[in-house]
Amino acid sequence: MNYTIKNDILNVEISTLGAELQSIKKNNVEYLWQGDEKSWKNKATNIFPYVGKMQDGKYIYKGKTYEMGSHGLARHIEFEADKIEENKIVFKMTSNEDTLKNYPFIFEYFITYEIKENTLFITSKVVNKDNKPMYFGLGGHPGFITPIDNGLNFDDYYLIFDDACKVNNIRISEKGLITHKEPFTLKDDKVLNLTHNLFDNDALVFENMSKGVTLKSDKDDKSVYVKYENMSYLGIWHTPKAQVNFVCIEPWTSLSSRDGIIEDIEKQDNLVCLDANKEYENTWSISIN
Q: What is the CATH number of the domain that holds 148?
A: 2.70.98.10
Distance from C-alpha of 123 to C-alpha of 125, rounded to nearest angstrom: 6
Q: What is the pLDDT of residue 96?
A: 96
Q: What confidence tier does 33 reach under pLDDT thresholds 50, 70, 90?
A: very high
Domain housing 205? 2-288
User: What pLDDT digit, counting tens, does each position of 139-185 carry?
Assistant: 999 999 999 998 999 999 999 999 999 999 999 998 999 999 999 99
- Give 238's contacts (C-beta < 8 A, 6+ positions apart): 39, 40, 143, 196, 199, 244, 246, 247, 248
Whether residue 37 has pLDDT greater than 90: no
Q: What is the pLDDT of residue 153?
A: 97
Closest CA to 231 of 282, 186, 268, 279: 282
User: What pLDDT digit, counting tens, does each position of 89-120 carry?
Assistant: 999 999 999 999 999 999 999 999 999 999 99
Average pLDDT over residues 222-231: 98
Q: What is the pLDDT of residue 148?
A: 94
How many domains are contained in the chain? Answer: 1
Q: What is the pLDDT of residue 150?
A: 87
Tell me 56's DSSP state: G
When the pLDDT of each residue in the chain is averaged and rounded to a whole number, the result is 97
Distance from C-alpha of 178 to C-alpha of 257, rounded to nearest angstrom: 6
- Contact present, 271 and 48 (Cβ < 8 Å): no
* H-state helical runs in 65-126: 97-102
- Contact present, 18 and 77 (Cβ < 8 Å): yes
Q: What is the pLDDT of residue 67?
A: 97
